[in-house]
Structure 1
Amino acid sequence: MTRTSLSRCSKLTAVLVVCALLIAAVAPAAAVSVQQTDVPEEGEVDSQVTATVTLTQLYDTYETWQIAGQTALQDVTWTVTFLNQAGNQVRQESYDGQNFSGATVDIDEGTSEVRVRVTGTVPAVEAYSYDPQQSFQLYALDQTREGGSSNELANVSATHYTADSREAREAMESAREAIDAAGNPDTAEESFASAVDAYEAGNFDNAASLAERAETEANQAESSQQRNQLILYGVAGLVVLALVAGGVVLFLRSRGDGYDKLG
C-alpha cells in the first residue's frame, strides 16, 4: 500500500470516529427503567390477579410524556401513582377498561417514580397449547408523546389455565420426565403425542389418561432396559469367570508339564 493510500485510510478512519462520537452525543439516553415489582407468571381462568410495575429514570429522554397501557384481563382497573424523590405521593389516577392513556409524567411536578397497578379477571382460554403453554397479555405499557410518537416500555404475558387443564398438564409433565428418563421409547412417545392432541382439543380427561399410559409404558421400558443390562452384566461376568478359570487351568497344566519333563 502506498503512502498516499495510507494517508487516505487514516483520514477516513478519523472521519468515521468523529461521526460515531457525534451520533453518540445526539442519541437518546437510556430508556425508562421498568421494574416488575409484583407480577404473576400465571393465573386461573376467572380468578382475579394484580400486577404492579415501577417506572424510574423517567426523564432520560423527555421531560414530559404520557403513559398508555393495555391488557387482555377483563373487568380491569388501572391505578397510576406518582411519587417524588422522598417516596411521597404526588398524585394518583385511576382508569377502567382494557386500555388507558393520558397519564402524564412531568418533571416540573417533581415526580421521580411511577407505579402502575393493573387488576382484572383472567380471561378464558381461546385455544389450548401444550408447548408453549397458552398465554394472554397481562399488560403492555407505552411511553407516548403528543404528535403520535410512541415507545414500548413493557409487554408481559402470563399463562392461564382451568383446574381440569392444569391436572391434565401435570400428568403430561410427569409423563414427559419419565419418557425422557427411559430414553424416549417409541410406544410411550406415541401415547404422549396422543395426550398432547387431546389436551389441545380441550379433552383433558382423555389427555390425563393417555399421559398416565405413556408414563407406565416409559417405566416399563426403563425396567426392561435395566433388566437387560443386568442380564448382560451377568453374562459378561460369567464370561470373565470362564476366561479366568480357563487361564488357571492352562497355567496349572503348563506347570504340570514342566514338572514331568524335569522328572
Structure 2
Amino acid sequence: MTKTSWSRFSKLALACLFVLSVATVPAAAVSVGDSTVTSDAEVGTEVTATVTLTELYQNPSLEEWTLAGNTELTDVTWTVVYYDQTGSKVSQESYDGQSFSGASIVADDGTSEVEIRITGTVPSVDDYTYDPAQSFTVLALEQTREGGSTNEIDTWSATHYTEESREARTAIDDAAAAVEQVDDEEAERRLQNAKEAYNGEEFSLATDLAGQAQEQAEQTQQSNQRFRLALYGVGGLVVIGLLVGGFLYWRSQQNKPDKLG
C-alpha cells in the first residue's frame, strides 16, 4: 500500500469510527426548560432549586421512563410535580434524602412537563482551595429507561463558602486585580502567600496578606505615576526651553542691522 493510499485508508477508518461512536450514544429524550439554581451559597443556609423538564418523549418508542436525582445538600426534601399540556397539575410526589428514584414519567398519564423542586442545607467544605473555588452538587438528574440503561439529564453545581472564607477570597481577588497592574515581585509574593494561607484555611491571615499585597501594588503604582509625571514635567520644561530659546534667537536676529542696507 502506497503512502497516499494508506493516508486515505486512515482517514476513512477514522470517519467510520466517528460515525459508529455517534450512533452508539443514546439520544437524549428530555430537554431542560426553566431552572432556578443558585450559583453560590453560604454553608449552613437553606436553599431551594427548581428545574423544569420538557419534551419528555422525543423518542417515539419511549413512552415511559423513570426519573432519579441526587444531591450533596443535607436535610433534603424533593418535590416532583407533573403537569399536562394545558399547564394543569396532574399529580405530585415527595421524597426525602440525598437521592431518590422511581418517579414514573408516563405519556398515557397525560404528563407533558415535570417540575423538580429540591430544598436542603448547604454542606460544609471539606477542602478549601482558592483556585478552583470549592463547589458542591446542588442536584443531578438522570433518566432510566426500560432495561436499565441510564442517561444523565443534567447536573447543577454551586460554590459554597463561610463568612470568613468569602471575606478572604474577596480580599485576594481585589489584591490580584491590583497586582496585575504593576511589576512588583514583593506584591506578587505576598499575594501568593495569601492564596496559600487560604488553602490552609487560615482565612484571617489570608485577608491580612492580601491587604499587604494590594497596598504594596498600589504604592508601586503611585510611584510609577509620580515618575511618569516627573518625566512629563522634565519633557515639558525642555520643550518650553527650546521654544523660549528659539524665540530669543529669532528676536536677536531681528535686531541686527541689515548688511545689504
Measure how far apart 1:188 and its partner are: 1.5
Q: Secondary structure at the match of 1:261?
A: coil
Cα deviations across residues 31-79 of structure 1 (Å, max 9, x unaligned)?
4221343211111111111111000111102211111111111121111
Change (3 A) 1:142 1:186: same
Rounded to whole Å, the distance in 1 between the matches of 2:28 and 2:140 is 19
Could you tell me which residue of structure 1 aligns to residue 240 of structure 2?
241
Could you tell me which residue of structure 1 aligns to residue 171 of structure 2?
171
Could you tell me which residue of structure 1 aligns to residue 132 of structure 2?
132
Measure how far apart 1:178 and its partner are: 2.2
Could you tell me which residue of structure 1 aligns to residue 76 of structure 2?
76
Measure how far apart 1:215 and its partner are: 1.1
Question: What is the percentage of aligned positions where both structures have the same residue?
Answer: 52
- For 1:186, the aligned partner's letter is E
RMSD between aligned residues: 2.2
Cα deviations across residues 176-208 of structure 1 (Å, max 9, x unaligned)?
22223x335322111111100000110000000
- For 2:155, the aligned partner's letter is N
Could you tell me which residue of structure 2 aligns to residue 37 of structure 1?
35
Change (3 A) 1:28 1:126: closer
Could you tell me which residue of structure 2 aligns to residue 51 of structure 1?
49
1:188 aligns with 2:187: yes
TM-score, normalised by the number of residues in structure 2: 0.85
Rounded to whole Å, the distance in 1 between the matches of 2:179 and 2:136 is 29
TM-score, normalised by the number of residues in structure 1: 0.84
Change (3 A) 1:168 1:252: same
Measure how far apart 1:217 and its partner are: 0.8
Rounded to whole Å, the distance in 2 between the matches of 1:72 and 1:98 is 7
Rounded to whole Å, the distance in 1 between the matches of 2:34 and 2:220 is 45
Change (3 A) 1:29 1:201: closer
Structure 1: give runs of 5+ residues left out of the alignment.
Answer: 1-19
Could you tell me which residue of structure 1 aligns to residue 11 of structure 2?
none
- For 2:40, the aligned partner's letter is E
Could you tell me which residue of structure 2 aligns to residue 209 of structure 1?
208
Q: Secondary structure at the match of 2:131?
A: coil
Change (3 A) 1:68 1:163: same
Could you tell me which residue of structure 1 aligns to residue 254 of structure 2?
255
Measure how far apart 1:161 and its partner are: 0.3
Rounded to whole Å, the distance in 2 between the matches of 1:262 and 1:176 is 73
Change (3 A) 1:184 1:129: farther
Q: Is the 8 A contact 2:136 2:157 kept in 1?
A: yes
Structure 1 outlier segments of 4+, above 6 Å = 27-30
Q: Secondary structure at the match of 2:114?
A: strand
Aligned match for 1:60, one of 47, 58, 61? 58
Could you tell me which residue of structure 2 aligns to residue 116 of structure 1?
116
- For 1:185, the aligned partner's letter is D
Could you tell me which residue of structure 2 aligns to residue 144 of structure 1?
144
Rounded to whole Å, the distance in 2 between the matches of 1:211 and 1:219 is 12
Rounded to whole Å, the distance in 1 between the matches of 2:116 and 2:50 is 6
Rounded to whole Å, the distance in 2 between the matches of 1:86 and 1:184 is 63
